[in-house]
Amino acid sequence: MGLECKVYMVRVSYDQKPFRRSLIHAWGAEVVASPSNETNSGRSILAEHPDSSGSLGIAISEAVEDAATRDDSAYSLGSVLNHVLMHQTVIGEEAIEQMKMAGAYPDVIIGCVGGGSNFAGLAFPFMRDKIAGKEIDFLACEPAACPTLTHGIYTYDFGDTAKLAPVTPMHTLGHDFVPESIHAGGLRYHGMAPLISHLVQLGLIRAEAYLQNDIFGSAITFARSEGIIPAPESAHAIHGAVTTAKKADEEGKSKTILFNLSGHGHFDMAAYDNYLAGKLVDVAFDEAEMERALKAIESLPKTA
């Protein structure tokens, strides 16, 4: 297409997933580890935390700053924003047609949530039926190390760490909360899409948080029964589906479960190796770090 592209990749992913970098290079783009020395946001974070593992909030700050300080560049975000969620609803619209072909309708709809786009994409086209009275259980699955919906508060916050993006109402752990370095890098985001946050507030979506050894256990079960190696992010949705199915079995109920397999895990084999060798660490959620990060947003506007 002849478009130049520069990618700010979260430091921990940059280090853990070298072949993603290779792909980006193969397609002709430039990739730098974030936080980097290329922006004011990156430099100020590195000055305070030279070993920062980075976060999606920091990478967003760097990309926004870089684009905003050049005349010839535009910045595009691939999740969180409501219009991105709307674009992704093609997944749910297609799922409706596929369910019709299977002569079925889901009792439970499950997806993993980072910024919220793949889950919303699957869930939103079915949501109109729930609002019209149909009984559907919507389950958003997040990592225990970054439990935005299950532990965060609902308030206005910045979408990025350096406060360059506008404030939006969302569930948040605080814009400068840096989650532990779990393998599901795409779920290490401090906030949540405004539309998903709103639906959680209305009680139309519920959320659960899982430890990484548990989600890899379900990923292995899935790989051995379906032949597909899921991304660690997607493994959260799989774990949600597995636990929901087990609970239904225990209760003697038959449930139709629809979940989104958001990506493959072919670049995450080091994480699978660690899991299979029993070396994967379950990192606890840092409550004190969240309290600190939430204190920093006390003065922002509150939701009604």
Ligand X SMILES: Cc1ncc(COP(=O)(O)O)c(C=O)c1O
Determine the residue type at 94. E
Does position 262 interact with ligand X (CB under 6 A)? The reply is: yes
- Give the nearer residue to ligand X in terms of CB position, either 113 or 293: 113
Contact 41, 47 (CB under 8 A): no
Does position 42 interact with ligand X (CB under 6 A)? The reply is: no
- Give the nearer residue to ligand X in terms of CB position, either 46 or 229: 229
Least Cβ distance, residue 114 to ligand X (angstroms): 3
Q: At what angle do helices 212-226 and 232-250 cross, to 10 degrees?
A: 80
- Give the nearer residue to ligand X in terms of CB position, either 24 or 296: 24
- Give the nearer residue to ligand X in terms of CB position, either 87 or 130: 87
Does position 113 interact with ligand X (CB under 6 A)? The reply is: yes
Least Cβ distance, residue 100 to ligand X (angstroms): 25
Does position 13 interact with ligand X (CB under 6 A)? The reply is: no
Restricting to residues 210-239, which ones interact with ligand X according to CB under 6 A? 231, 233-234
The residue from 114, 143, 152, 240 that contacts ligand X (CB under 6 A) is: 114
Least Cβ distance, residue 157 to ligand X (angstroms): 17
The β-bridge relationship of strands 137-143 and 108-112 is parallel
Gap between the Cα atoms of 154 and 169, Å rounded: 7
Provide the β-strand partners of residue 230.
264
Gap between the Cα atoms of 283 and 183, Å rounded: 11
Find, among 287, 192, 183, the residue nearest to 236 by Cα. Answer: 183
Does position 143 interact with ligand X (CB under 6 A)? The reply is: no
- Give the nearer residue to ligand X in terms of CB position, either 62 or 233: 233
Gap between the Cα atoms of 141 and 92, Å rounded: 17
Give the binding range for ligand X (CB under 6 A) out of 69-77, 99-107, 109-117, 123-131.
109-117
DSSP three-state, residue 143: strand
The residue from 179, 186, 194, 217 that contacts ligand X (CB under 6 A) is: 186
Q: Using the structure block, give the residue that is written with the tokens 């814009």.
A: 175
Total binding residues for ligand X by CB under 6 A? 15
Judging by beta carbons within 10 Å of its beta carbon (0-12, 13-18, 19+), is residue 274 exposed, middle or buried? middle
Provide the β-strand partners of residue 168.
157
> Which residues here bind ligand X, judged by CB under 6 A?
79, 112-118, 186-187, 231, 233-234, 262-263
